Each structure stands twice: as structure tokens, then as C-alpha cells.
Amino acid sequence: MLTWHREFIGTTLVQAVEEFEHLLGEDLVSAIETSLTHAAIGGMRRNGTYPEDDNLILGYSNPAYMRAVVVSWIGHRLNNSTFTDFANLQGKLLLELFTWNNSNTLGEYNAPTYYGMDIWALSAAIKYAPANSTIKSTSEYVLTELWKDIAAHYNPYLKNMVGPYDRAYTRDMTTHSSILSLWFWAIFGHARGPQPPKGEADLLYDVAQGAQIALVAHTTSSYIPPTLTAWLTGSAYTDAPRFLNRTIKEDLSSSYVRVATSWLSGPLMIGAESIAETANRGDQFVPAIVHWASDPAHQPAPYVGFFSLYPSASTVEAVAGERSLRIRYPNRTQEGTGVFTFAVSGVAPWWLLAGNRVEGLEKLPCLEVKVEAEGLERLPVTYGSQLRDHLFYNVSYVVPDGFEGVPEVGLEFEYTC
């Protein structure tokens, strides 16, 4: 069964027994043990190849870590060495993947929603997994390093993580929910960090996990280096602009890697990822995205504008630089390489009320963009489509028939407010 019910529900049942066994009664606890035994067997059968179309590989970070917690816990509980041996091996391999080439990078890279689930899995491993299990000991290291990575990508002024995102629902954490925001809420308070409005529709689903998070938040907080607290809880970007370069690996058996580059300043940040794959990752994948303060006077935080490249192609060379972004389609035999589509959202109301209109990327509220798209044709701008809850302007550049060479779009940015 290709779902994540085993992992999400399984870790929740582990927590329920660990925290409240004395309230549950022997019969219910026994039923939970039976259920987790079935979950462990089903989870152990998945390896990225079986059943058909299975995708539970080491690099699928959040279910991989949750699976290790469930199998380790029930194996120890029932003294089942097959389970514990599997879980201990998974803990070892997950750490090897994370630390490959000293990258300290999860295979499911920079995913605001699923970093939230990674933190849950790592915290549950630390608090509930057997003391002698590898998933417990390795999670202690990974959780601290993950928070370091989150802090490196986080912009306290824009209240968002710089891209790119391997998987993202919201592209703006101040307007729509991401589970990572719940950890800021639980550890630092709701007034801190990236928080959508309390009535936001996605949050009403995500916050159902609030009780689980609250029960491990103290454990989680003890693995956040104290030197990061001021940055994570602040509201100003007080550092110099910085550049990030990450190498992302999804398995230990191949040489294939993805490369992510990011550039951050206070009012403007840019992220991009280069991939060379045969299957399209779908619209959760954000290979390139630009965030900026489109209304710096907005309170309690700037109104955030952004535009992202729609992932139409499965091979993309996207590179972020200082106030710049370059995107190429080197493999034109693949579908989706005939168009560069940018989804523009978060256009500040003050700018529209002043009579301005989005007619391309060149002129946006507080942002001027120099566009180089040699040989490409820009389509008329349209508005009103929705992508992961965001209404957006569609700004597309088409590769015309007869085009020769590698299609490329180059962007240079100047923040003007």
C-alpha cells in the first residue's frame, strides 16, 4: 500500500503509548502493538522498487525517519531482533546519506512543510526510541544540524525560507501554513517566526498535529543551538548578504546529485536548483524562486512578493547569484522545455491601487528586473490561475519553432524601496 499512514499514524501511536500507557488499558495497548507490528512489516517491505512504483527510498526523508522510529520502537517492545536490526541499519544508512561528502543535507531538501515532519520524526526518535537504537543516537546529531540549515536559509525580515524547495505547498509561509511554522510557535511563541493567520484554511488541518508537537517541543528545543535563537526569533536581517551552496543526494548507490544555490539579503532572496532527471517532480517542486518585500511598510511583517519557475521540465540548470538568476533547459528532447513559466504572486495592493499593472517581470512593486531571453517570445500576461493556494500572474517565455541552441532566461534584480 503506497501511503504514509503507517508512518504518520504509527509514530502517533508510539507517542500515545509512551506518554499515556497508564490511561489506555492493557487491551488497547495490546491492539496498538499488533497494529504497529503490521505497520513495521509493511514498512520494511518498501525499498523504492517494491511494490510497483514505490518511492520510499532513503532520500524520502520524512517517512524514512518515521519508519525507522516505528520499527525500532515495536521491535524493542516485542524483543523482535528482525525489527531492531532493520531499524538500526536504517539509522546508520540515513546518517551516511545525511553526512555524505560532509553535506549535512536531507535528501528531501529545504521543504518547509516536510522539514516540519522531519523535526517531528527526529524528536520522536530522541524521546521515544530505545536508548540503544541507532535511530535515537543519529537523530540527536541530525536534528541539531537540521536546525542549523534552517537558520542558514531563514530570512527573519521576510519570515520565509529562501528557495529552492524540493517540495512546497505554500511559497509564502506568512500567508499559508507550513508545518515548520508550528515548531516556531511551539518553541518560541506564536508571535515569532513565520506564521500565517490563525484562521487560514491549511493551518486548520496542520494544527491538528499541535498536541503531538507540544509533547516533544521541549526535547526539540534542547537540540537548537542557543546561538541561533536570536536569528530565528528576530524580525530584522542583521547579517551581510550571503550565498549558500548545497549538494543533495537521495541514495548511496549512485553518483547522481542535485545542486542548490541561494542568495539572501534582507529585502530580496533568490534560490535555484539544478537537476537532470527523466521524470517530472510535479508542482510541489520549486526549482527557482525569488522573494522580496513588495510592501516594506506592511505590518507586522513586510508584504511578501514572490515569483517561481513552474517545473515543466525534468532537466533544469538553475543557478542563483548575487541579485541574479539564470535558468537553462540543456536537454530539449524532454517534454516541458518549450516554455519558461513564472508564477508571480504577492503583488502589493498599494502598487495596484496606484494604477500599476503586472505586464511582465520587468517592473514589480519595489523590484526592477532586467530580463535576458534571447530568441524567446513572451506571451501575454494572464491572471487568476491557482498554484498551491496562491493566485498568480502567468508570465511565460516560449521557445519558438526553429530555435537553435540552449534556451535560457537570465534575470538581474534591483530592489527599489
Question: Could you tell me which residues are beta bridge partners of residue 342?
Answer: 309, 395
Quote the pLDDT of residue 47: 76
Average pLDDT over residues 216-237: 97
In the predicted structure, residue 1 carries a pLDDT above the cut 70: no
Out of 176, 208, 233, a domain closes at: 233
* Domain count along the chain: 2
222 and 289 part of one domain = no
Q: Is 228 among the domain residues?
A: yes
18 and 25 in contact (C-beta within 8 Å)?
no
Q: Are residues 206 and 310 in the same domain?
A: no
Residue 167 identity (one-letter amino acid): R
Contacts of 402 (CB under 8 A, 6+ apart): none
pLDDT for residue 5: 80
Give the pLDDT score at 3.
Answer: 64
Cβ-contact 110, 284 below 8 angstroms: no
The confidence score (pLDDT) of residue 2 equals 56
Asked whether residue 384 falls in the same domain as residue 285, the answer is: yes
Q: Do 209 and 341 belong to one domain?
A: no
pLDDT tops 90 at residue 217: yes
Residue 387's H or E segment, with its range, is strand 382-387
Distance between alpha carbon 104 and the CA centroid of its chain, in Å? Answer: 15
Q: Decide: residue 236, CB within 10 A, 0-12 exposed, 13-18 middle, 19+ buried.
A: exposed
pLDDT exceeds cutoff 90 at 50? no
Domain for residue 288, yes or no? Answer: yes
Question: Can you tell me whether residue 48 is helix, strand or coil?
Answer: coil
Dihedral class, residue 101 (left if φ above 0, else alpha if ψ from -120 to 50, else beta):
left
- Here the cell at position 320 is 542563483
d(CA 214, CA 183): 9
Residues 77 and 139 in one domain: yes
pLDDT in tens, 129-185: 999 999 999 999 999 999 999 999 999 999 999 999 999 989 999 999 899 999 999
253-288, pLDDT tens digit by residue?
A: 999 999 999 999 999 999 999 999 999 998 899 999
**Residue 60: what pLDDT?**
87
Burial (Cβ within 10 Å: 0-12, 13-18, ≥19) of residue 126: buried
Under 8 Å between Cβ of 409 and 372: yes
Q: Are 93 and 214 found together in one domain? A: yes
Q: Where among 233, 248, 283 does a domain terminate?
A: 233
Nearest to 346 by CA among 397, 302, 300: 302
Average pLDDT, the chain: 94
Range of the domain at 309: 267-415
- CA 315, 320, 325 angle in degrees (round to 5)? 85
pLDDT digits (tens, 9 = 90+) for 316-365: 999 999 999 999 999 999 999 999 999 999 999 999 999 999 999 999 99
272 occurs within a structural domain: yes
Task: Give the mean pLDDT of 187-215.
Answer: 92
pLDDT of residue 55: 75
Q: What is the pLDDT of residue 223?
A: 98
- What spatial distance separates the first Cα and last Cα of the chain, rounded to whole Å? 52
**Per-residue pLDDT tens over the stretch 69-121:** 999 999 999 999 999 999 999 999 999 999 999 999 999 999 999 999 999 99
Same domain assignment for residues 217 and 363: no
Whether residues 56 and 163 share a domain: the answer is yes
Rounded CA-CA distance 294/349 in Å is: 9
Question: CA 184, 189, 190, 195: dihedral to nearest 10 degrees?
Answer: -20
Residues 164, 297: one domain?
no
Length of the chain: 417
| Phi and psi at residue 261, to the nearest 5° | -125, 145
| Residue 49 predicted with pLDDT over 80 | no
| Cross-strand bridge partners of residue 68 | none
Please indicate, yes or no, whether residues 38 and 102 belong to a single structural domain of this protein: yes
The answer on 273 and 228 residing in a single domain is no
Does residue 40 sit in the same domain as residue 91? yes
Q: Which percentage of the chain shows pLDDT scores above 90?
A: 87
Out of 213, 233, 253, a domain closes at 233
